[in-house]
Amino acid sequence: MKHKSIFIILFLGIWTETIAQNYDLNYYLETAFKNNPTLKDYQNRISILNIDSARISAGYMPQLSATSNNTFAPVVNGYGYDMALNNGGSFNQFINLNKAFSGNKNKTAQYKTVQIQKDSISNEARIFELDIKRNITNQYLIVYGDWQQYNFNIEINNSLHQQEALLKTLTEHNIYKQTDYLIFLVSLKQQELQIKQLKIQYQTDLSNLNYLCGILDTSIQMVKAPDLAINMEVDEQTSVFGLRYYYYNNDLKNDLDLLKYAYRPKLNAFANAGYSSSFIYDATKNFGFSTGFSATVPIYDGHQRRMLSQKNSILQAGNTVNKDYFERQHRQQKAMLKQQLNSTSQLIDEINQQIIYAKGLVDVNFKLLEKGDVKIADYIIALNNYLSAKNLLTLNQINKWQIINQLNYWNN
């Protein structure tokens, strides 16, 4: 049994030494941000909108084009198109210049549409980053909790193996019964199985963390203690979540401006120069140019403008309702999380006190164990109480950090 115990201790020690590297929370967050394709897609969408903005500028510049229109309509034996209408054909080659005039305010409104879309996409990208950060942090905390429980149980297991040697000696001297020694061995075996289970759980949760971050790595990394503090609280309206309603409302208002400008008169100036001839007479002199302008004045559209305005008003009203509801829920969510944080912090303080008592009882029982003045069952009960208290402390510390993680999510 002694050789078996030494083998188990060596095995657990070797597994600990094969851990590849220590990583902290920032490493996993930075890797997740770097590998996530959706964040790259947000960047591409903003780049496309920059191109759209440049296209608006290009659309208001003079437009130059070349056209060629050529027809031939012969009259054969008196049959053919009326020569008075088509002159038997035509040959037209033009360079055309067009310039639209719609006003600076209309142009500004179009630029504003693009800018609002860019701001909205940037804000949605920030929310998506917060979702990634929250999920990665939660999973990291789970992994760290597994690691803490594993290490603590390793320490207990090493201590039990030392006590097993002492108990064996005491049993050989008939201070303890053989049944007492077997009860202790059963508890020791159960503890070893618990360590193996914790190892599997740690590896599984660590693999899930790597998966979320896009990390292709099956080695074992020890995670460092997280450094989580509550972020400074922000107003609901200025948070990234509240800004969604702000940008949407601005977009609706800008749509009204674009609608107003769409119903204003439009002026377009044009000019061309080139060659136009029917070849009937003086074809060599048919080079020339022309210039002019066109105007469009909306008069009646079946009340479409009024309908679009009504639609816009309904959307604005709905956005206001959604914004107010979000702000109430946002405040309620943070208040609930703060309450949970306070309760969890108080519970952690109580558990720490319980651990002090439980550890003291274990130490007293161990001293009595050396003298043979304590029942093995009583010692095991005291040890299990200590283990339970330590594990409960780990669970609640992880829960506390997860609550802080949730609060920080809403405080951005």
Alpha-carbon distance of 181 to 183, in angstroms, equals 5
Cβ pair 379, 163 in contact under 8 A: no
Tell me which residue of 410, 409, 400 sits closest to 134, measured CA to CA: 409
Mutual angle of helices 304-371 and 240-262, in 10-degree steps: 170
Residue 17 confidence (pLDDT) = 45
Residue 8 confidence (pLDDT) = 46
Q: Which DSSP state fits 238?
A: T
3-class secondary-structure state, position 87: coil
Cβ pair 148, 76 in contact under 8 A: no
Cβ pair 412, 238 in contact under 8 A: no
DSSP 374-388: S-HHHHHHHHHHHHH
Residues 277 and 394 in one domain: no
The first and second tokens of residue 210, run together, are 């790597």
Residues 109 and 92 in one domain: no
The first and second tokens of residue 358, run together, are 């439980």
How many other CB atoms are there within 10 angstroms of residue 383's CB atom? 21
Alpha-carbon distance of 5 to 306, in angstroms, equals 86
Residue 21 confidence (pLDDT) = 65
Cβ pair 300, 114 in contact under 8 A: no
Dihedral sign of CA atoms 306, 311, 317, 320 in order: negative
Residues 204 and 221 in one domain: yes
Residues 286 and 330 in one domain: no
Residue 20 confidence (pLDDT) = 52
Cβ pair 151, 264 in contact under 8 A: no
Cβ pair 344, 263 in contact under 8 A: no
Residues 164 and 285 in one domain: no
Residues 88 and 185 in one domain: no
3-class secondary-structure state, position 94: strand
Residues 211 and 92 in one domain: no
Alpha-carbon distance of 343 to 333, in angstroms, equals 16
DSSP 152-170: HHHHHHHHHHHHHHHHHHH
Tell me which residue of 274, 52, 10, 303 sits closest to 154, measured CA to CA: 10
Write the CB contacts of 280 (distance below 8 Å, at least 6 apart in sequence): 87, 88
Mean pLDDT, 10 residues at a time, over the chain (412 residues)? Answer: 46 48 87 94 94 88 88 80 73 86 84 94 95 96 94 88 84 84 88 92 93 84 85 81 94 91 85 82 82 88 90 95 93 93 95 93 86 84 90 94 94 81
Alpha-carbon distance of 180 to 173, in angstroms, equals 13
Which residue among 297, 312, 346 closes a domain?
297
Alpha-carbon distance of 215 to 139, in angstroms, equals 14
Tell me which residue of 154, 121, 125 sits closest to 36, measured CA to CA: 125
Residues 237 and 278 in one domain: no
Residues 146 and 113 in one domain: yes
The domain tally of the chain equals: 2
DSSP 253-298: HHHHHHHHHHTS-EEEEEEEEEEEE-SSS-GGG-EEEEEEEEEE--
| Angle at 219 (CA atoms; ends 399, 156), nearest 5 degrees | 55
Residue 368 confidence (pLDDT) = 85
The first and second tokens of residue 9, run together, are 């201790």
Cβ pair 361, 380 in contact under 8 A: no
CATH no. for residue 331? Answer: 1.20.1600.10
Residues 250 and 272 in one domain: no
Residues 141 and 257 in one domain: yes
Cβ pair 334, 407 in contact under 8 A: yes
Residues 121 and 176 in one domain: yes
Tell me which residue of 410, 403, 411, 344 sits closest to 138, measured CA to CA: 403
Alpha-carbon distance of 283 to 276, in angstroms, equals 9
Tell me which residue of 59, 175, 139 sits closest to 107, measured CA to CA: 59
Question: Parallel, antiparallel, or unpaired for β 63-72 and 222-223?
Answer: unpaired
Residue 399 confidence (pLDDT) = 96
Range of the domain at 352: 2-60+102-263+302-410
The secondary structure element, H or E, covering residue 182 is helix 178-213
| Angle at 14 (CA atoms; ends 11, 15), nearest 5 degrees | 85
